[in-house]
Structure 1
């Protein structure tokens, strides 16, 4: 293990006890485990897209999603884990947007959150998606793929390795550059591409992703509007950014795809991240917001610690 990594983990261990003293914005502690009502909701949520009309654009829907969908493990509590549910459980709970972070190693993809391997490989993610779509062919999955951490022992590009996965089952992917209608996307994985490509079209292009802000990406084929403030010194300011984009999305009649990340982290001493300081505060606000705002289209909403309860409220706005 590299010396810098050892020092990092040592710092995390020394500061772990300090995390409980960070009380700014009074985060509300909640139990993110699924309750019995949420488990019952999951059964209905596994096919919520199926009865929607074919001609509706994905840009005109409210779609629950997961930020760092595969991040379920961490060395110290609050520093890397973003989800409690597996990929399969997320899909059954109504999640239809997966933010997938791939490290390129040995000409294959492993799932990472930064330097932390998540005991999961890209093939595992694809297997879960394929099994779900086989069982629910009226659904679709929007998958954002981004390169994470440092490549190691590779003899080809990230794009070439991604292509090798697509070639296993090319009919399962929707790689056009435009935002599709639900009819065009049923039974498929719609790629949102955050990596460079020499051969296009290769999904909805999102390579000009701005850092830690709200921004637009406009291409000849698709328009995106994204809120991705992931460093969150103030939860109230973060929530204002989230709700501003909710309002903008719901008022839009264009085919712009809105992606509104409710996730983020608070930076503690020496830059140690605290994910739960944000999620414990923001997630109850999501529940409150969609308990009151029960109709409309609010875009894709990637969350930390997503569950069927919040997904149900978001999904219901489509009906």
Structure 2
């Protein structure tokens, strides 16, 4: 286990862009976990004398380094507090969609053709609706809340994992080690979860990393439209929406949360690209050779 961890660290060190992305995401995760507990009071404290205060003025101390909003609340702690809600919604949607989509994809790829056709038609029904339009309709009817937002985003992303998993299973189930397990009398459940799933899992992890960025952008879009997270809760998308009326006079209200979204999405894409190579036995040697040279 330790040698495998050192191997992954060497491969990560070989790709400096992925290393920077991983460090940035680590900081984001840590801040999302502990930030709201430390800065929630500062994020909600109003000071009308500092309304729309420009960045780098330090009139509010170090918390005012990014400026203040229309109610004089410092933007830096608000961005950190909003980070938790944004990450929770994205993580929840990716978790549920990946679990449901992967399980359905495993069944569709290994079960009888009739069962596979029923599952694939279900995926076609979900994909026939544009994901954001479906989210808008459902949230308008059910009401905007964190749970509804997670559920509707998870449902719209299920076909991504379902189709990918099914395609991988259809290819893997014809390999010799699966045929050998079948001849040895292994049950279908054991073959699927013990022999096929470990081969498919690296691909699913790469897709989940990319999908996390997509879901985060979708949540920001819905919050920007006013049907996502509602005040007093905040997300990065809601902060951008609240600063929309002040774009010509206080651009920083929307700029800083927008920059946070861009950097997080970029880091997720860079890390997913590294994972695609690092988890592929055919291409892994590139990173391993780079790690040895740097070492």
Question: So what's the TM-score if we normalise by structure 2?
Answer: 0.24
Larger helix proportion, structure 1 or 2? 2
Question: So what's the TM-score if we normalise by structure 1?
Answer: 0.23
Query: Larger C-alpha radius of gyration, 1 or 2?
Result: 2
Larger strand proportion, structure 1 or 2? 1
